[in-house]
Amino acid sequence: MTLDRAKLADMYYRMWLIRHFEARARWLFQQDLVRGSTHTYTGEEAVAVGACAALNRDDYITSTHRGHGHCLAKGGDPRRMMAELLGKATGYCKGKGGSMHIADLDLGILGANGIVGGGIAIATGAAYSAKVRGTRQVVVCFFGDGAANQGVLLEAGNMAALWKLPVIYLCEENQYAEFSPSRPFFAVERLEQRALGLGMEGIPVDGNDVLAVYETVRQAVERARAGQGPSFIVAKTYRWEGHTVGDPLTYRPAGEAEQWKTPERDPIARFGKYLVEQAGFSPAELEEMNQRAEAEIEAAVLFAMESPEPAIATLWEDVYA
Amino acid sequence: MAIREISYRDAINEALREEMERDPTVCIFGEDVGRYGGPFQVTRGLYERFGEWRVRDTPISEEGFTGMAVGAAMTGLRPVVEIMYNDFVTLAMDQIINQAAKARYMFGGKARVPMVIRTQGGAGRGNAAQHSQSLEMWFVHIPGLIVIQPSTPYDAKGLLKSAIRNDNPVIFIEHKLLYITTGPVPEEEYLIPIGVADIKRAGDDVTIVATSRMVHFALQAAGELEKEGIQAEVIDPRTLKPLDIETIVRSVKKTGRLVVVNEGHLTGGFTAEVAARVQREAFDWLDAPIMQVATEDVPIPYNRQLEWEAMPSAADIIQAVKSVVYR
Ligand SMILES: Cc1ncc(C[n+]2csc(CCOP(=O)(O)OP(=O)(O)O)c2C)c(N)n1
Ligand SMILES: [Mg+2]
């Protein structure tokens, strides 16, 4: 593994950025400042950060309704994200998209998606495009364990395997799909077995271990860039919070989430322990990064609050190119 | 008759429960409709009462379970499918348009596809472009489908019961912002016939035809207009297809003026369809151009003010009415 100190610090910082972003998003939703619904990524930080750490700036990702973490991990600007959550003119989508539709095409973020499974074929198309254009770019397609049951995965995955497209299907097995556990909804024993039918190997990875995710995705990226085609990775993780902010969580066994918030399992605490014990970071350095991330999110909230509403005339803009 | 006030949500729940009690072939398919009781809590208690084979929690596989309903309907069940947001119907469109809607005619009248697709649409809650559409006209366009949009708990219950008993595929579109609204619903069983409009308010000066949540906006507008001495008649078609054009035409022959309100987009929408039919059948009775009030031809934006601007409002309806009564 070839991660230098700066890279490790950046990954740790981004995990905190996501954790603090989601805490503020939750709060803003509760204040009725964020509308519609918002889905937090808390507890799953290692998946997005590990995967995006293996990508270049010009590589692509497709995201989901639970997309804040993917966006931040790929380098998204928390200020413009927060402004979008508040529907402001300075937001990524000029206030037209909201929490579920953040995109930053300049960073290769092809959009969060309100349609479960909506990014799967788009990721495949971006990979096709990269191949035709001969750019060596790769695509990471994030999707949920619930989304794995959408038919489009069979269609797109088959084409990717047929034509050796540089795409990595990265399933986030967070054990829930909306208001139900996800496990009772797939017949295979392990989700990665789905890959076999697509002509790919299914690779499980501990989704709460940021370095394991990084290494698994890095190898997949290497194969993709070498023209060896797609990969199918299943990151085993856990959704700490409700499906949306405000979800009463009546369907989740009491005490279950607490078992995932222990220092042994919390992806940030785990990575912190590694950094101190094996990478020469001091606890004070880690705490400083945590606080800096928190301050960056606070600044993002302020930026968003102080930003102007979009002008009414913008309603009719951007319908057509 | 004993009348209570219940919510739109509970009225739909009662319709499902009563029809499932009455007919063991009625089954529900959908995401989180069983153990959880429905994403909007419409199917609450049904899983406990009827069990998993009658109330099926499905994977997130809209095309799969909608198509399953078509096959089950052709072979003796009466499935009621729930598509959580009408926006997701896109994923199941082949099963609805090419399979369910066509089977009977294409097979020379031999097949029956008695199924209902329950879904909900509409904007106003900040759900943005992929969760706020009003897609009723996609279905209205297709021969072989029946399309219903109830605006009150009473209509929702009576029409859903009729829809379940109907031998055709029925698209039953609820509105996300109506679930918690309440209204009078009799204790006793009743059915509302499909294809019959309801005059929600009588008036002689102008006819307002409105659907789903827009009925409430139209009634609000009518209340305001009354203060200025304008009596509006508000008609809720309830069934968009087949459309009760007679009731609308009868009203227009009385008032001479028509405003049509629908939450779908303006272009190619319901308001254009009604306007075309009315000018054909009541041209000589019209004293003013027919006005259309509909959603702007833009995707529904997230920002609150932009969203409100995109959608029809009571003020838009008042303005349209004034323009046809020349005040
Ligand atoms: C096509 C479609 N069907 C249903 C929904 C409603 N919905 C939103 S998120 C979700 C669950 C998704 O579960 P999963 O893919 O596991 O993602 P997670 O929320 O766990 O990150 C559902 C059913 C939707 N948005 N789109
Ligand atoms: Mg999930």
Dump pLDDT digits (tens) for B237-264.
999 999 999 999 999 999 999 999 999 9
- Write down the H helix ranges in B4-152: 8-22, 46-50, 62-74, 93, 103-106, 136-140
Task: Give CA–CA dist A51/A53, Å, rounded.
Answer: 5
Task: Give CA–CA dist B19/B11, Å, rounded.
Answer: 12
Task: Give CA–CA dist A60/B307, Å, rounded.
Answer: 30
Gap from CA of A175 to ligand 2 centroid (Å) = 5
Task: Give CA–CA dist B212/A298, Å, rounded.
Answer: 42
Whether A100 lines ligand 1, by a CB cut-off of 6 Å, is: no
User: Nearest Cβ partner of B302 from A36, A113, A251?
Assistant: A36
| Statement: the pTM of the whole predicted model exceeds 0.90 | yes
What are the extents of the domains in chain A? 5-303
Residue in chain A lying closest to B34 (CA): A180
User: Nearest Cβ partner of B128 from A114, A116, A251?
Assistant: A114
pLDDT by residue, tens only, chain A of 321 residues: 579 999 999 999 999 999 999 999 999 999 999 999 999 999 999 999 999 999 999 999 999 999 999 999 999 999 999 999 999 999 999 999 999 999 999 999 999 999 999 999 999 999 999 999 999 999 999 999 999 999 999 999 999 999 999 999 999 999 999 999 999 999 999 999 999 999 999 999 999 999 999 999 999 999 999 999 999 999 999 999 999 999 999 999 999 999 999 999 999 999 999 999 999 999 999 999 999 999 999 999 999 999 999 999 999 999 999
Whether B3 lines ligand 1, by a CB cut-off of 6 Å, is: no
The CATH classification number of B3-186 equals: 3.40.50.970
Q: Which residues of B touch A184 (CB under 8 A)?
A: 57
Task: Classify domain A5-303 at the CATH class level.
Answer: alpha beta
Segments in chain B below pLDDT 70: 1
ipTM for this prediction: 0.96
| Measured CA distances, A6 to A217, A279, B8, B186 (Å) | 19, 11, 57, 70
- Write down the H helix ranges in A113-255: 120-133, 152-162, 194-197, 210-225
Q: Do A170 and A200 contact (CB within 8 A), yes or no? A: no
pLDDT of residue A272: 98
Gap from CA of A235 to ligand 2 centroid (Å) = 11
Pairing type for strands A139-144 and A60-62 reads parallel
Cα Rg, chain B, nearest whole Å: 20
pLDDT of residue B239: 98
Task: Classify domain B198-325 at the CATH class level.
Answer: alpha beta
Q: B302, A93: Cβ pair inside 8 Å?
A: yes
Token pair, residue A65, equals: 């309704």
Arithmetic mean of pLDDT over chain B: 98
Residue in chain B lying closest to A251 (CA): B36
Q: How far is B149 from chain A (nearest CA, A)?
A: 23
pLDDT of residue A1: 57
Residue in chain B lying closest to A177 (CA): B60
pLDDT single digits (tens) A12-27? 999 999 999 999 999 9
What are the extents of the domains in chain B? 3-186, 198-325
